[in-house]
Amino acid sequence: MEDLNFPYKLSIPTDVEAEKIHEKIDAFNANQLSFNGNVEVLKDYIFKDNDVIIAGIRSCFYLGECLSINVLFVDEKYRHNGLGTLLLNKVENEAKAMGAKLVHLDTFDFQAKDFYLKHGYEIFGVLEDCPKGHKRYYLKKILQQ
């Protein structure tokens, strides 16, 4: 439903325009926190077997104190060999060396909740029926300095 008296145009952004949204919120956040430095530092790593990606982690160290783990995946045939632990430890240790005090992530009930609990994470929130019949868990870990 469009309001013909509304003076602004709604559209789907280009990739460049979408990135501008991130830049604007990063600038706002940095200003609110009086933070100087890189607002976000990506911490991404992969393992390959003969040039085929078999495991990887995508994470972001942000605002000088936090690490957000966005994706951690190990191909099914390579699981239970320690690759997930190596990836998790790598980004946690690097972020800790940069001053991180907190790591956070989310995972579904059919993913890796128990893996994270085994690595010292604690659940701080749960979304029921997300999607229907499943739970989405929000976990955190305090990093000791």
What pLDDT, in 10s, does the model give residues 93-139?
A: 999 999 999 999 999 999 999 999 999 999 999 999 999 999 999 99
Return the pLDDT at 145: 64
Return the pLDDT at 63: 87
Return the pLDDT at 89: 97
Q: What is the average pLDDT score of the chain? A: 92
Q: Is the pLDDT of residue 27 over 90?
A: no
Segment 42-46 shows an average pLDDT of: 96
Return the pLDDT at 112: 94
Return the pLDDT at 3: 60
Are 21 and 4 contacting, i.e. CB atoms less than 8 angstroms apart? no
Say which residues have a Cβ less than 8 Å from residue 91's Cβ, sequence separation at least 6: 43, 45, 57, 59, 67, 69
Question: Which is nearest to 68 in space by CA: 87, 98, 38, 92?
Answer: 92
Between 28 and 3, whose confidence is greater?
Answer: 28
Q: Is the pLDDT of residue 12 over 90?
A: yes
Token pair 């600038």 is found at 27
Q: Structural domains in the chain?
A: 15-30+37-142 (3.40.630.30)
Q: Is the pLDDT of residue 8 over 90?
A: no
Gap between the Cα atoms of 140 and 2, Å rounded:
41
Segment 46-75 shows an average pLDDT of: 96
